[in-house]
Structure 1
Amino acid sequence: MTVRIVTDSACDLPEEIERSLNIEIVPLTVRFGDQEYVDRGELGVAEFWERIGKSKQIPTTAAPAPGAFEAAYRKVIAEGATGIVVICLTSKLSATMSSAELAARSITEVPIEIVDSKSASVGEGLAAMAAARHAASGADTAAVAEAARSLADRTRILGGLDTLEYLRKGGRVGAAKALFGELLSVKPCISIRDGEVAEAGKVRTHSKVVAWLLEEFSKIENPEYVMVFHSMAPDAAEFLAQVKALAPDMEIETGIMGPIVGTHIGPRAIGMGWVEAK
C-alpha cells in the first residue's frame, strides 16, 4: 500500500522536506494588483519578500480551484498511490479545504481523506510531515488520516509580528488599533490553535518577542514535533539555536514563511509551531 500526502502551499515546509517525503503541493495564487502568480511556481519565496520590500501595495491571495487539487490527485495516482490523505490550510481562514473536498468527488480509483490542519504555515506543515512519515511506515489511508487529525488537535503556533500594518490591510484588525500599536511601537504576539488566530500578548521590542517565545516553549513538556518559522527575520538562525538548546534531542527544522501567510503577517516576523504530547 502506498499512501501519498497532498497539501497546499500555505504549509511553508522547506522544499527538501517535501521532496524527501514525497509530499505533493497544490499552490494557492498571489495577486499584486492586476498581476496574478502561482505560489512557488511563478513567484518564489525570495521574490515575494523582495516585492513586499519595494511595493506599497499589499498583495492578496486566493485558494486553489478544485481542478488544481484534482490534477494533484491524478498525478499521485499515476505515480502509484493507493490512497491519498490531504492536509489543508485551516478551513476557518480559507476556502482551500472546500476545493480539496470538491475535487475528491471526482476521484473513484482510490480512497481520499481530507484533513483540516486547524492551522497554517508550519503548523500545517508539521501535520503534513508527520502524516507522510506515518504513511512511509506502511499505515493505510484511514490510519494516516486519523493520526493527522490527532496531531492537528494538538498543534499550536506562537509568533511575534514586527507590525500590525499587514493585518490591518488584510482586514484582520481595525485601523485605529493598528495605528495605536504603531505609535507605541508594539510588537503584537499571536497564537493559532484549533484554526483560530488570537492575540497572545504585546511587547515593545523584537528581542522581547524572542524572549517571550522561548519562555512559552520552555513550559511545554515533551513536544512531539517542533518547527521554527520566520519572514526574513535577521536573527532567525540565532533563534533556531536558542530553541534547539531548549530541546537538544529533537530534530528542529526552519520554515521561511511564504506568500500565503506572509501576506497577512508581514516581514520580520518570527515564531514557532509544535505538537503537544498526547
Structure 2
Amino acid sequence: MSVAIVTDSTAYLPSSVVDAHGIQVVPLHVVIGGTEFSEGVDVTTAEVAAALRSFTPVSTSRPSPQAFLDAYEKAAAGGAEAVVSVHISADMSSTVESAHLAAQHSPIPVTVVDSRSLGMAMGFAVVSAAELAAAGGSAEDVAAQALWRCEASTVVFYVDTLEHLRRGGRIGSASAFLGSALAIKPILGLVEGHIRGLEKVRTSSRALARLEELAAAAGEGPDEVDIAVQHLDSATRAEDLAARLRARVGSAREVVTVELGAVVGAHVGPGTLAVAVSPRPST
C-alpha cells in the first residue's frame, strides 16, 4: 500500500527534508496586528519576534479542515492509497480536530495521529514515518512508528519570560512559576502533550547550563538519538548549545539547529531555547 505523509508547520522540518521525503505540510496561521499570515509561507520568525518586542498583538490559529482536505486529495491524486496525518498536540492546538473533520471527506483512508508533541520532536517522528512508508509499511505501522517516536522523545526548553505563554493560555501547570516570574528563569518541559514547569533557576546562564544537563541526560544510553536545538531570535546561543551537545552525547546520530517558527514563537517569545532528544527506531 502506498502511504502518504501529511503534517503541519509546527514540525519545523527544513524544506530540504520535506522535499526529500515527499511530505506535505499544512501551515498554521499567525495573526500580527490584525493581519493573518501562513506559517512558513509569508511570515518570518524575525517578524514575530519584532512584533512581540514592540507589544503588537500576536495570536495564532489552526488550519481549516479544507486545507487538510486539499492535502488529502492531492495525496490521492498522486497515487497514494492511504494517508497518515501527524499533528501538534491536541492540548496545544485544535489542529488535530481540523484534520479529523477533513478525514471524514477524504477520498482515501486517513489515520490522524495526535503526536502529543510539537517542534522537531514531532518532526523527527514524521521523518521516520515517511521512511517506513517509503519502505512499504502499512498505514497502521506508519502511524504507530510516528506515535512511538513522539512518545519516546524528550523536550525541554528555556524561556526568558513566562508572559507570552500566559497570554496564549499554553502555560499549563507551569503557571505555578508565575508568582516569582521576575526572579527566576524557568526550565519547562513537554509532558504528555502539556507544558509543565520542571525547575526554577536564578540566572539565564545557570538555566542554559541546566538545559544542557537535562538534554545530555536524555541522550544517555546505548541507543542512537537525534537532537534538535531550536530557538527564537537566539541563533548564537543555539549553535553553541548544539556544539556542546554534539561533543557530550556519544549516542547522537544527528544534532541540528532549527529556528522555532512563527506559531510556537508567538507563544514562547524571543530568547527561547528548546532541545528535542529523539531516540531513533531500531532497524
Q: TM-score, normalised by structure 1?
A: 0.90
State how far apart, in whole Å, the 2-side matches of 1:63 and 1:270 are: 24
> Do residues 271 (structure 1) and 274 (structure 2) align?
yes
State how far apart, in whole Å, the 2-side matches of 1:82 and 1:172 are: 36
SS at match of 2:254: coil
What corresponds to 1:63 in structure 2? 62
Q: Deviations along 1:220-251, whole A, 9 cap, x unmatched?
A: 32353322211121311111111111234511
User: What does 1:248-263 align with in structure 2 at a 5 Å threshold?
Assistant: 248=250, 249-263=252-266
Structure 2 CA distance for partners of 1:71 and 1:164, relative to 1, 3 Å: same
State how far apart, in whole Å, the 2-side matches of 1:90 and 1:235 are: 27
Deviates further, 73-82 or 263-272: 73-82
State how far apart, in whole Å, the 1-side matches of 2:131 and 2:205 are: 35
What corresponds to 1:237 in structure 2? 239
Structure 2 CA distance for partners of 1:51 and 1:145, relative to 1, 3 Å: same
Letter in 1 for 2:186: P
User: What does 1:147-166 align with in structure 2 at a 5 Å threshold?
Assistant: 147-166=145-164
What corresponds to 2:4 in structure 1? 4
Contact 2:5-2:129 within 8 A present in 1 as well: yes
Letter in 2 for 1:28: L
State how far apart, in whole Å, the 1-side matches of 2:129 and 2:116 are: 15
Q: Deviations along 1:13-72, whole A, 9 cap, x unmatched?
A: 22222222221110111112321112122213343334334x312411011110010011
Structure 2 CA distance for partners of 1:207 and 1:17, relative to 1, 3 Å: farther
State how far apart, in whole Å, the 2-side matches of 1:212 and 1:223 are: 22
What corresponds to 2:92 in structure 1? 93
State how far apart, in whole Å, the 2-side matches of 1:137 and 1:46 are: 38
Letter in 2 for 1:2: S
Letter in 2 for 1:32: I
The alpha carbon displacement at 1:2 in A equals 2.9
State how far apart, in whole Å, the 1-side matches of 2:105 and 2:276 are: 34
Contact 2:48-2:265 within 8 A present in 1 as well: no
State how far apart, in whole Å, the 1-side matches of 2:143 and 2:88 are: 15
State how far apart, in whole Å, the 2-side matches of 1:94 and 1:2 are: 29
The alpha carbon displacement at 1:179 in A equals 6.7
What corresponds to 1:102 in structure 2? 101
Deviates further, 76-85 or 165-174: 165-174
Structure 2 CA distance for partners of 1:172 and 1:87, relative to 1, 3 Å: closer
What corresponds to 1:26 in structure 2? 26
> Aligned Cα RMSD in Å?
2.2
Structure 1 gaps of 5+ residues are none
User: What does 1:42-191 align with in structure 2 at a 5 Å threshold?
Assistant: 42-53=42-53, 55-108=54-107, 110-172=108-170, 178=178, 180-182=180-182, 184=183, 186-191=184-189
Structure 2 gaps of 5+ residues are none
Q: TM-score, normalised by structure 2?
A: 0.89
What corresponds to 2:192 in structure 1? 194
Q: Deviations along 1:99-155, whole A, 9 cap, x unmatched?
A: 0011011113x3211111101122221221221122222212111011112222212
Contact 1:244-1:250 within 8 A present in 2 as well: no
The alpha carbon displacement at 1:166 in A equals 0.9
